[in-house]
Amino acid sequence: MDDEFDILENSGATSASAFDIKKFLFRALSYWKWFILLLAISFYYVHYKNVREEFSYRLGTKISVEDDSNPLFTSNASLTFNWGGVTAKVQTLVVTLKSRSHHEKVVDRLEFYKSYLTQGRFRKEDIYKAAPFRFNHEYNAHQLINLPIKITFLNNDTFNLEVNFSGPTVSAQNYLTKNIKAIDVTPGPFKKQYKIGAPINLPFLKGTVVLAADRIAKPDTSYFISFSNFDSVVASYKARTSVSNPANSPILDIALIDKNTEKIVDYLNAVVEVLSEDQLNRKNQYATNAIKFIDEQISRVKSELSKNAEDLNDYRKKNKIFSLDDESVILNEKLTELDAEKESINRQLNYYANLKSYLTTSSTFTEIPAPSIAGINDGNILNNVSKINELSVQKSKLQYSVRSDASIFNDLNRQIEGLKNVLLENINAATHVLKRESKLVSSRLSKVESQFSKLPEDQQRLITIERQYTLSEQTYNVFLAKRGEAEIIKASNVSDILVIDSAKNTGAQVLGRNLNVRYVFAFLVALLIPLVLAFIFTLLDNSIHSPIDVEQLSAIPILGVVGKNPLDNNLIVHRKPKSAVAESFRAIRSNLQYFYKTKNLEGAKTLLVTSSVSGEGKTFTSINMATVFALSGKKTVLVGLDLRKPKIFGDFNIKNDVGVVNYLIGQEPLSEVVQKTDVEFLDVITSGPIPPNPGELLISPKLQELIEQLKKQYDYIVLDTPPMGLVADALELFDFVDTSIYMVRQDYTKKGMLNFINEKYRNKQIQNISIVYNGYDQKAKYGYGYGYGYGYGYGYGNYANGYHEDTKSTSGLLKKIKSIIKK
């Protein structure tokens, strides 16, 4: 059948018509049941989502970045370095707060990879500190992750531990090393009873369950412990934490979004606490490095001082010399002074040598000891060491939040490399100066030592030992003083982080949409879907759905409108003579008789019934038109000329052994092919056996002879012909008839199928033809409610309700809506 449609639609250009708004509206109204169903489904879905909605909250804390300088800091101390002012500090702290390493410290400190849950109505809910117990896990043991562990308290002393394993292996993580490994388990439920406070030592869980302070465990209450992947937890908190710096001020706003407000408060406060500690540690880095360096020097000098003191005491006791004469005292003072000066020079040279080696061999410069501990006060070196340290700190911070190939790293590396080269030049220049000064001091020392050689041997020896002891003592005292200075500065340093508003749950901002708006969207979606479908189907619809469509597509007049056949065969006029369908055929009969009268036709009248394709009601109309003629007392014969697909015999319970084909080939006379029916005055000539050449038979002279003979015997001759849109047979038959009926069926006939008959009618190749609209359904989704059989009889109007036995009234509400749209 689809092939037939394609042939018809391609036989001529389809008439173009504008989009039918009325049809679209009626089609949309016909989808009201789908709208109600979609509305119910969408409202239920919205309700389902709303009652299960878990709201998130947003809390924040506000800090200020200060430039607190140490009141004990002096230009000689140089044990702290300048970060580049408040602006540089703010940017560094913003980067730090967004870095993964910072959140790792916070999650580790708060143990937020471990959750305490309870079973809610729709989900397991995080109760955090509201749980009456704590699980103190072993940090250096692997703990089960991503699978809740059920804790059911039996009484205040014992509990059941339950886990349901879905597979043979589970994942567990060591929260000290952060290593994850697979552990073999037995699939299915695991259950074991423990005492509160007793160690749990399982392959997948190690620790102790203890009651929280001032809490008791209610019997038969259940809770859950859940460990999560450490990296996933860190990434989650990092993504939900925001840092803003309004108007480039020294103020930082830190906010966090979470479903548990207590967790938000603790996490934000821990974020600030860790940040303050890290910043203070970084601020003390110079002092820390200096103390470490000084401790190494003190350890070395202390051993030398002890040895020299021991040698001095031993020499005095052995030689019984406890004091020097005046000349020896003077020489000893000169020698000690020159030794101290030379030691200072050597200490600076040694620092420069170490610093040069550090600069040329290290890739990071965050651990350079302060130059002041070696007595270096060169402003260029002090500033450059501070700058290179600052840049190195900034680079190390960015490594946790910025890709290593980012342009900012290239810029920092260039700046560090430039400062390193400047420092190396400064070191070379300072070393050159110090070596020159060392030679001068050595020269002066040689002159004093020449005088020293003239003293008695025992005095010389004593002076030598005392010189070594005094030198060690002075060096030791210098380092002790420097260390004390560094400790004081370190102890007196304060963090540059000032908390303005600490995080506190004083009305957290609820993050969530107005849930009632979802019902509005649900309504719009439920409405939009039928409308869109109606629009698409209307736009793509190429079927005829009403008599108005026929009037718009064709100039051929409409003879009548016939409703749907409710019976199991085509004999509705015979079996249901009072039905609306039977009345429609009577109306068509009246119209035909009026036509015959206006044409002054006398004698037998002939009627041809055809269509575009099979299935449009051609045979149904032929049978019933023949029946209404016969019921009026007129001798009528129905001739089946659809030789390819004979049908009419089945409705009358007669055989198709002989028929038109037998007559046309000269095999049987007319009397042998005519068959009586149960309808008085109605005879039928079936088509007979299917011939190999139906087209040739229909254009043979025998057919004209058959029509002429029938006109002599009958008042009405009805010809049931083949579809003229598929074969040319029906066109040849128009010459033998007085008038013709062209069938159009509601919701079945395509608009393009009328092109062929329209062209023939326009060219006057076919005349005296009318259209019968078949299958009319006033309640159809595209119907317009024409009533009264579209003016061609009483078919489906309200007037007919009192006379017809099968008419049903249209729904009052739907009818009113349709009437409004029509108007």
Angle, helices 379-398/85-98, rounded to nearest 10 degrees = 30
Q: What is the pTM of this model?
A: 0.52
Instruction: Give the span between the Cα atoms of 350 and 296, in whole angstroms.
Output: 14
- The 3 state secondary structure assigned to 432-464 is HHHHHHHHHHHHHHHHHHHHHCCCCHHHHHHHH
Query: What phi and psi values does residue 168 have, to the nearest 5 degrees?
Result: -80, -15
Q: Which residue has the tokens 């005392």?
A: 466
The values of phi and psi at residue 597, to 5°, are: -70, -40
Q: What confidence score (pLDDT) does residue 431 get?
A: 85
- Indicate the DSSP class of residue 248: G
Phi, psi values for residue 475, rounded to 5° = -60, -40
Residues 711, 729: contact at Cβ < 8 Å?
Answer: no
pLDDT at 802: 36
Give the per-residue pLDDT at 561.
94
Q: Quote the CA–CA distance of 541 and 528 in Å, as a whole number.
A: 19
pLDDT at residue 374, as a whole number: 60
Burial class (CB in 10 A: 0-12, 13-18, 19+), 324: middle
Euclidean distance between CA atoms 107 and 233, whole angstroms: 8
- Please report which helix (H) or strand (E) contains residue 718, including its range: strand 716-720
pLDDT at 408: 66
Take residue 757 and report the two structure tokens written for it.
Answer: 């008959």
Rg (CA), the chain: 55
Return the amino acid letter for 271.
Answer: V
What confidence score (pLDDT) does residue 329 get?
Answer: 63
Residues with Cβ within 8 Å of 330's Cβ and at least 6 positions away in sequence, in order, are none
pLDDT of 7: 39
Longest dimension (CA), the chain: 178
As to burial, measured by CB atoms within 10 angstroms (0-12 exposed, 13-18 middle, 19+ buried), residue 268 is buried
Residue 219, token pair as written in the block: 């019997």
Is the distance from CB of 642 to CB of 721 less than 8 angstroms? Answer: yes
For residue 88, the one-letter residue type is: A
Domains along the chain? 2-50+515-539 (no CATH), 57-283 (no CATH), 285-492 (no CATH), 543-822 (3.40.50.300)
Strands (E), 148-271: 149-153, 158-165, 169-174, 180-184, 188-195, 199-202, 205-211, 221-227, 241-244, 251-258
Q: Which residues of 767-790 are buried (b: 16+ CB within 10 A; e: fewer)?
A: eebbbbbbbbebebbbbbbbbbbb
Buried b (16+ CB within 10 A) or exposed e, 548-567: bbbeebbebebbbbbbbbee
Q: Are 775 and 748 in contact (CB under 8 A)?
A: yes
Q: Which residues pair with 750 in a beta bridge?
A: 543
Q: Going from the first residue of the chain to its last (823 residues), give the mean pLDDT of each consecutive group of 10, the final group possibly shorter.
A: 42 50 84 91 85 78 71 43 54 84 93 92 86 93 94 92 94 94 94 94 94 87 94 93 82 87 90 85 70 74 71 62 55 70 78 77 64 66 74 65 59 78 82 82 72 57 67 72 70 72 75 74 90 86 86 92 90 91 94 90 91 90 95 94 87 91 92 92 93 86 92 95 74 87 92 89 90 83 44 36 44 54 51
pLDDT in tens, 605-651: 999 999 988 889 999 999 999 999 999 999 999 999 988 888 888 88
CA distance 522 to 573: 51
